[in-house]
Amino acid sequence: MKSMTLRPVLGTIVTVASLVLLYLALVVPDTVVRHKTGAWVPGAYLRVPMELIVAGAVVLALPGRWRKPVAALFGFGFGVIAVLKVANMGFLLVLGRRFNPVLDVTLFKDGYNAFTETDGKTKANLAVAGAILLALAVLSLATLAAVRLATVTARHAQPTRRALVALSAVWLALALSGVSLFPNNPVASDSAAALAKSTAKQVPAAIRDQRQFAEASRNDPFRSVAPADRVAGLKGKDVILGVVESYGRSSLEDPGMSAIVTPMLKADEAKLAAAGFSAKSGFLTSSTYGGGSWLGHSTFQTGLWIDSQPRYRQVTAGDRITLTSTFHDAGWHTVGMEPGNTTAWPEASFYKYDTVYDSRNLAYRGPRFGWSRMPDQYLLSQFQQNVYAKRTGPLMAELTFTSSHEPWTPLPQTVDWAAVGDGSVYGPMAKQGPSRGTLWQDATATQAAYAKSIAYSVDNFITWATTYGDPNLVLVMFGDHQPVSLVSGNGASHDVPVTIIAHDKRVLDRIAGWSWQDGLKPAPDAPLWRMDEFRDRFFTAFGTQSTVALGKAH
């Protein structure tokens, strides 16, 4: 008797839960909506979804035998939309853009690898399993919920029709009035339909993008210029590219982070001046944000806007002229220092590196520091011993500094250069500092740790140059992208600092037309270019007169 009494109650609970589930799948935004104060905004989630009204009307109008199958399709579709929203939320938080199911699937593997490096394989596997199970649960529950509602509304067809007519009138009135309880979140919602429509357009858009990018790759104005002519102004110079991981504009302009980074830059400027070096700086807009460092590296090197993995694969499979390949073909010995690589680097031949050092042949015997397999000071020490001190001709090298890679805990400390050795000296440092899970619960503490890592990376690069560099040394230092939004903030730019440092003032005279600012810290009004503009401007500034004319014409 009691079970018969409970059955209607349980049925009502299941029906209400089904309605709430589908409602949330349709109205929840695909990003975390907060006030400027950081507080949650409940009003952003109070919306009337057009899609639920349309689906209800279609299912109710169908013959009985078609209702459940069509309702199941609607439910599954709503589940897919919910999964896409979660993916968008994650991509916006980490990479500053929405998920593209056509172009971004391969990035999940990179995310898994990064998670494995920082938190271990067990946690990474559990996270993957949890994500898969959650996605399957959402799809299954949304499908079952839609079927449940189709069954219930069929039994109460007349009240359901009245409710749908009333909701349609409400939606139309809200749409015409433009009522919005939070910016860009109108109460009359059709965001789920817009998301589905934009996703459907991504396949043909990706095909068009591939064709257009292939044409841009082939159309290289400097292909007709001899390699030596592209960099004639640097003849006899040793050119070192220093890529500082996650070195973003926010580190210079956010008050909390700037309070840590700026004093270090000022001290480094004094070191440079004492050693006879000068510096000029500006800003570049990176093609990536929060991660995907190789996209920023390749954009800087190729003069092409590489913001997706398909574009990266496409360009590295070709023969596009890069900064490194130009120096190689012009007679420089080219070296890549890539401490984050754990296997052979297929793209080394594309860039034309003569020698590559990575985690396998850098003889490091110290501990890891989060994702970074070795401190930047150790990398510079190995570069000094194995490359710079042994050079017999002009050298061009790219050094990728990984100490500023997330999670920014634990952090290494600078030691005396003579004490670096095989890295064992860093052992005690790796036991200091909180775990990522603990640190990232406090955004302010995370920002401070990030800023300290940037100061460490830049300072060691500058200290190496002023300690070991000679008058023919030229440094090009830049950030590959901004850090994740936890550090840089929601809606942060994709801008990164870029600096050229030289002992020979004639080098900086060649970029006088760039209007870059003196020193290591560009002011907010410093020139800003897209990162894919750098290569051509570099060739124009340091090329022969004919190269300059070609660059200006282009």
- pLDDT recorded at residue 204: 72
pLDDT 10s digits, 351-405: 999 999 999 999 999 999 999 999 999 999 999 999 999 999 999 999 999 999 9
Residue 221 in any domain: the answer is: no
Would you state the pLDDT for residue 44?
62
Q: Rounded to two decimals, what is the model's pTM?
A: 0.81
pLDDT at 537 over 60: yes
Decide if 383 is inside a domain. no
Residue 382 lies in a domain: no
Residues 6 or more apart in contact with residue 13 via CB below 8 angstroms = none
**CA pair distance 282, 538, nearest whole angstrom:** 13
Q: Residue 188 — pLDDT band, cuts 50, 70, 90? A: low
Letter for the amino acid at 123? K
Q: How far is CA 301 from the centre of its chain?
A: 17
pLDDT in tens, 145-158: 889 988 888 888 88
Structural domain contains residue 386: no
Q: For 455-461, what is the mean pLDDT?
A: 98
State the pLDDT confidence band at 99, using cuts at 50, 70 and 90: confident
In a domain, 169, yes or no: yes
170 and 21 in a common domain: yes
Calculate helix-pair angle for 121-155, 50-61, nearest 10 degrees.
50
Gap between the Cα atoms of 468 and 109, Å rounded: 40
On whether both 249 and 372 belong to a single domain, the answer is yes
Asked if residue 36 has pLDDT above 70, the reply is: no
Structural domain count, the chain: 2
- Among 184, 200, 216, residue at a domain's last position: 200
108 domain-assigned: yes
Q: Are residues 103 and 181 in the same domain?
A: yes
Query: Would residue 209 count as lying in a domain?
Result: no
Q: Looking at the structure, do residues 166 and 299 belong to the same domain, yes or no?
A: no
Same domain, 184 and 273: no
Calculate mean pLDDT across residues 462-471: 97
Q: Is the pLDDT of residue 423 over 80?
A: yes
Poorest-confidence range of 168-177, 221-230, 446-455? 168-177
Same domain, 118 and 246: no
Question: What is residue 4's predicted lDDT score, i.e. its pLDDT?
Answer: 52
Residue 87 pLDDT greater than 90, yes or no: no
Closest CA to 261 of 441, 69, 485, 447: 447
160 and 293 together in one domain: no
Nearest to 18 by CA among 126, 103, 109, 145: 145
Last residue of a domain, one of 200, 216, 243: 200
Residues 220, 302: Cα–Cα separation, whole Å? 10
Verify that 368 and 468 share a domain, yes or no.
yes
Are residues 412 and 468 both part of a single domain? yes
Higher local confidence (pLDDT), 366 or 309: 366
Query: How confident is residue 38, by pLDDT bands cut at 50, 70 and 90?
Result: very low
Residue type, 417: W
Instruction: Give the percent of the chain with pLDDT over 70.
Output: 90
Question: % helix / strand / coil in the chain, to the nearest 5?
Answer: 55, 10, 30
Q: Is residue 35 a contact partner of residue 42, using CB atoms and an 8 Å limit?
A: no
Q: Quick check: is 403 in a domain?
A: yes
Residue numbers of the domain that contains 267: 229-320+351-377+391-553
* Statement to judge: residues 136 and 257 lie in one domain: no
Q: Are 398 and 333 in contact (CB under 8 A)?
A: no
C-alpha distances out from residue 385 to 224, 357, 418, Å:
38, 13, 11
Residues 143 and 248 in one domain: no
Least confident of 63-67, 271-275, 349-353: 63-67
Are 135 and 249 contained in the same domain?
Answer: no
Angle value at C-alpha 395, between 389 and 396, nearest 5 degrees: 125
Average pLDDT of 293-298? 95
